[in-house]
Structure 1
Amino acid sequence: MPFFITIFIYILFSSVIEAFIPFLGVIDNAIVFAILIMALLKAIFEGINGKKMISTIGIITLVTCIILFLIAIIPNIMNSEHAPFLQQLLTFYADIKFVILFFCGMYVFENIDLTSTKKLMIRISWLFTMICGLMYLVNLVVPFLQSFDTRFGIATYSFGFGHPAQFALTAIVFSVLRIFFSLKDSERMPYIYLILNFGLVFVAGRSTSIGFYLCLLILAIIFPYVKRIPISFVVVLGIVFLWLSWGRIMSQFMGDPDEARGLLLRTSIKIAQDNFPFGAGLGMFGSNAARVHYSPYFSKYNLDGVWGLTKENPHFATDSYWAMIIGELGFLGVICMLILFGLVIAGISMHLKNEKPFTKVIVLLPFIYALLTSPVDTVMVSKSIIIVMFAILYMCLYIKKTNEKREET
C-alpha cells in the first residue's frame, strides 16, 4: 500500500516537482514502464505455477495493441523517410499508455488494501485546495504568481504546475475522489470543498475544464436525491459542457484557416486519405517525434511556413491529439484506438459490476474527461493521462478491498 499511495501522490504533484527539479520529469513515464515490467514478471511467475495469467478482455486488448502496432509501423517500413526506431516506439508507447496503466496496474496491485488511505487523501486534498486558494488571495494583494494568459477577463494561473490545464486536472481529480468517498461510504457530499475547487478551476481559465467541473458539481448536487440519472438530464449536462467549451471547439475545427491546431487536424485527414487505409506512420505527424525530428510531411503539405509549425519553431506541432492519431495511424488505426477506449471502459466497468450507478459514473468520470477534452487537448498522450489512470486505479482498488471486507463481516 505505501508504495502505491506514494507513487499516486507523486504523480499528482509531479508537474510542480519537475518545475523545481527538472530531471525528475522522466519519473512519471519510468513508473509506467516499471508497472509494465512488474506485470510481465508476475504473469511469467504465475504461468510457471499454473495460474491463469490473463483474462479474456486482456487477451482482446493485447491482440488489438499488436494489430495497432502493425498498422502504425507498416508505413515506416515502406517509406525511406521515417522517424528513428526508438522514437517510433516511444510514440506508440504514448498512444497506448492509458491501456498499459489500467490493465497492468490492476493486475500488479490487485491485492493491495487502500481503505486505510482515505483520511490521508482527504487531508492532502484539503492542503492542495487551501494552499492554492491562499496563494491566490495573497497574489491579489502582493502579486507574485506568474500569469499564464487572460481568460474571461481575468488573469489565469497554474500555481506552480507546468500548465493551467494540468492544475485544473489535479483539482478535478481531488474533487472526484471526495465525491467517490462520499458515495462509497454513504457520507454527506463535501459541497464546500467542491465549490472552493470550482473557484480554482475557474482561475485556471480552461473553458473545457470549467464546463466539465460545472457538470460534475451539478451531478454532486443531484446524487443524493435521485436513484438514476434521467437521459434528459444527461442531455442538459452535455449542452452545458458544449456551451462553455464552444469557443475552444470552434477555434479548433472552424477557426482561422492559418491557425496551427485547425490546420493540423485538417491536414491529418488529408494524410489519412492519401495513405488509405494507413497513415503517415509512427513519429511522422503531430507527435513529439515529428516535432523533434522535423517530419517531411510538414513541408509536403505546406505547413512548414505556418507560425508554430516551422522547422525553427515547431512549438504547436504537438497541439492536436486527434491530428496525431489520424495522421500517423490512419483510419484503421483510429478504429483500433476507439476499440481500445471501449476495452478500457469495459475493463473499468467489470470492477464496478456490483456498484451503484452513481459510483460507476464517478469512477469513470476522469477517463470520460480525458476523452471529452481530447479533440481540443493532448491529455491522452501527455503525463496528465497518468494522473487520470492512477485516480481510476485508486478508486477501483479501494472498491475491491472495501467490498471484500464487507463480505467477510
Structure 2
Amino acid sequence: MAILFIFLILENILEKFIPFLNFFDEVLTIFSLVLLVIFRNKLVINRNEIIMLVSFMITIIIGIISNLLAGVRVVPIAVIKDIIQISKFFIIYMFGTSYLYKGITRVAFRRISCFSKAYLVILLIFGLASQFIDLGMTGDKRYFIYSYAFLYSHETFLVSAVIIMISVLLAQNDIKNKYYIIAGFCVLLLTMRSKAIIFMLVVISMEILGQRYDFITKGSQFWKKNWAKIILVGIFVFGVAILFLQSKVMLYVGYGMRAARPALYIVGFKIMRDFFPVGVGFGEFASYISTTYNSPIYTRYGIQEVSGLNYETHYAYVSDTYWPYIFGQLGVLGTISYLIALYYTFKNVVKKIGNTRGKLTAAIALISYMIFACFAESLLTNSDIIIYALTLSYYLNIDGENI
C-alpha cells in the first residue's frame, strides 16, 4: 500500500505520459465496490458507517427520482457515470475503513513518511528555483510570486499532494518533522492557492490548542468545557480566510452570470427553487458529464454561452465548483441526505483515527480543506479524492506513537 500512496501522489504527473491513467480512479472505485460486496460478511462496520451508508443510498435514490420527476430527460449512461463519480469518496472510504480496518503497518508508514520528507524537500528546491529561473513549472504572477505547479497539470493538484504528505508527517507525532512541515507550508504558499491557506490555518490553530489543552486524554470533557473557545478559534480561522479571499469573492460577485463559477451558483439555486424539493437529477448540471451528453439545462437558464461553459472554451470551468453540482442535481432533499452522509463520515474519521494530537490535527485539517476546496473545485468527484479517502480511512490509521 506504500507503493499505492506514492503512485497516487504522482498520478497527475504520470497521466501526461500514460493517458489511460485518467480512468484509474473509476477503476479503483469499481474494484473496491466489488471487494466490499464479495467480502461483506467479513467487514467491520460501526454505527457511524451504517448511518453514512444509508444516508448516501437515500441520496442516490433521490437523485434517480429527480431524473424521473424533473422532466428534462434521462440519459442512462450519463446517470450511471455520474453515480460512479459521486460515489467515489464514500466507496473508497468504506474500503479503507472496513475492509482494511487493521490500518497501515508501521513499516509501510515509515516508507511513506520517508518519501514525503524527501519529496517535500525536492518540491521546495524546485519551487524556489523556479521563481528566478524559467523551468516551465510556474504560471501567472500573483503579487510578487509566480504560481508554482511543479510538474502537475495545475497548482490545485500540487496542493493536494502536499497537504496529504503534511498530514502523514503530522500523524507521525515526531518533533523532527516540523522542518519538513514548514517546507510543505512554503510550497503551499508558492502555489498561490487561497484554499491552501485554510489548511495551514487549521493546522496551526490545532497545534496551538493542542499545546495548551490536553484534548486527547480528556476526550469529550474538553470539548464540552471549552466549546466557546473552540468556536472562537473557528471564527478566527474563518475570518482570516475571508480576509484572504474577499477580493476574489467580490470579483466573482461582480461578474454575476457573466463568469462560470458565480453563474453555476446562481443557476444551481434557481434549479433548487424551480424543481423543489428535488433537483434535475444525475448527469444534468455542473459536471463534465452533463456537457458531454449535452444537458439542456445550460440553455434553459441562459448560460450556454458563458466562457468556460461553452463549446468554444471546451467547457473548461464547468467543474470549477462542487456544491452547485449537489444542490442543483439533488435538490433540497438530496442535499440534506448527502450532507448527513458527509457528516457521519467525518465524525467517523475523528472517532477512529483521532487518538493522538497529530492524527486529530491531520484529520480535522484535511476535512476543513475538503469542505472549503469544494467551493472552488469539484474535489469530491475528481481523481484526487481517492488519496483523500484512503488517507482518512487507512493511511492515518496507525498507532501514532514512536513510529
Provide the TM-score with structure 2 as the length reference. Answer: 0.88
Residue 334, structure 1, aligned to residue 325, structure 2: no
Moved more, 99-108 or 321-330: 99-108
Structure number with greater CO (CA < 8 Å, separation at least 6) is 2
Aligned to 1:30: 27
Tell me if structure 1 keeps the 8 A contact 2:321–2:376: yes
Aligned to 2:270: 270
Residue 147, structure 1, aligned to residue 134, structure 2: no
Aligned to 2:39: 42
The residue type equivalent to 1:374 in the other structure is C
Q: In percent, how many aligned pairs have the same letter? A: 21
Please give the alpha-carbon distance, in whole angstroms, between the structure 1 residues aligned to 2:366 and 2:29.
18
Instruction: Sort the Cα spacing of 1:312 and 1:294 in 2 relative to 1 into closer, same or farther, 3 A.
Output: farther
* Per-residue deviation, residues 202-260 of structure 1 (Å, max 9, x unmatched): 11110111343244245445633442484233332232222223333444456444111
Q: How many pairs does the alignment contain?
A: 389
Instruction: Sort the Cα spacing of 1:352 and 1:201 in 2 relative to 1 into closer, same or farther, 3 A.
Output: closer
Please give the alpha-carbon distance, in whole angstroms, between the structure 2 residues aligned to 1:118 and 1:382.
25
Aligned to 2:219: none
Residue 386, structure 1, aligned to residue 386, structure 2: yes
Aligned to 2:160: 169
Provide the TM-score with structure 1 as the length reference. Answer: 0.87
Gaps of 5+ in 2: 216-225
* Per-residue deviation, residues 316-341 of structure 1 (Å, max 9, x unmatched): 22212111111111111110111011
Gaps of 5+ in 1: 47-51
Residue 18, structure 1, aligned to residue 5, structure 2: no
Instruction: Sort the Cα spacing of 1:165 and 1:83 in 2 relative to 1 into closer, same or farther, 3 A.
Output: farther
| Selected match of 1:114 from 84, 89, 105 | 105
The residue type equivalent to 1:325 in the other structure is I
SS at match of 2:175: coil
Residue 103, structure 1, aligned to residue 94, structure 2: yes
Aligned to 1:209: 196
Moved more, 89-98 or 139-148: 139-148
Please give the alpha-carbon distance, in whole angstroms, between the structure 2 residues aligned to 1:296 and 1:194.
47
Residue 316, structure 1, aligned to residue 317, structure 2: yes
Tell me if structure 2 keeps the 8 A contact 1:147–1:157: yes
Instruction: Sort the Cα spacing of 1:364 and 1:100 in 2 relative to 1 into closer, same or farther, 3 A.
Output: farther
Please give the alpha-carbon distance, in whole angstroms, between the structure 2 residues aligned to 1:357 and 1:154.
33
Tell me if structure 2 keeps the 8 A contact 1:211–1:241: yes
- 1:6-405 aligned at under 5 Å gives the runs 6-44=3-41, 46=42, 54-78=45-69, 81-82=72-73, 84-111=75-102, 113-182=104-173, 187-188=174-175, 190-220=177-207, 223-228=210-215, 230-231=229-230, 232-253=232-253, 255-313=255-313, 314-352=315-353, 355-356=355-356, 359-399=359-399
* Per-residue deviation, residues 159-183 of structure 1 (Å, max 9, x unmatched): 111210110121111112111111x
Instruction: Sort the Cα spacing of 1:63 and 1:360 in 2 relative to 1 into closer, same or farther, 3 A.
Output: same
Give the deviation of 1:104 after TM superposition. Answer: 2.3
